[in-house]
Amino acid sequence: MGRRSSLWTPCYLMRDGNGSVSRLADEAEATQLGMGAELLGHARAMLNDRRVSNGELRYLGERLTEALCDVLRIAQRRGAARGPAQEAQGDRPGRRGGG
């Protein structure tokens, strides 16, 4: 049984990954990641359009910041669910030791 931080409160859910709350959390994470990917596509299009106003770019920056916060929270939750031993082994993929 693993632990996973809640999406809504600063607490942890004890789970085996099969409960209704875990499924709800998985669905919420998938929605957040999907929305972030969609936003990234809009951002690329807007940045290539010279007619976009400063106000629109500011709004885009605010939404991108929100999406990045969501992704970082998801990554932190997933890291906490892995546990310290797994984090130490797989913490930095592709990075070689020795400096």
The residue type of 9 is T
Report the distance separating Cα 44 and Cα 60, nearest Å: 10
Q: What are the extents of the domains in the chain?
A: 2-81
Provide the 10 A C-beta neighbour count for residue 4: 19
pLDDT value, residue 45: 95
pLDDT at 73 over 50: yes
pLDDT value, residue 1: 45
Q: Where are the alpha helices (DSSP H) in the chain?
A: 20-48, 54-82, 84-90
pLDDT in tens, 33-71: 999 999 999 999 999 999 999 999 999 999 999 999 999
Report the distance separating Cα 55 and Cα 51, nearest Å: 11
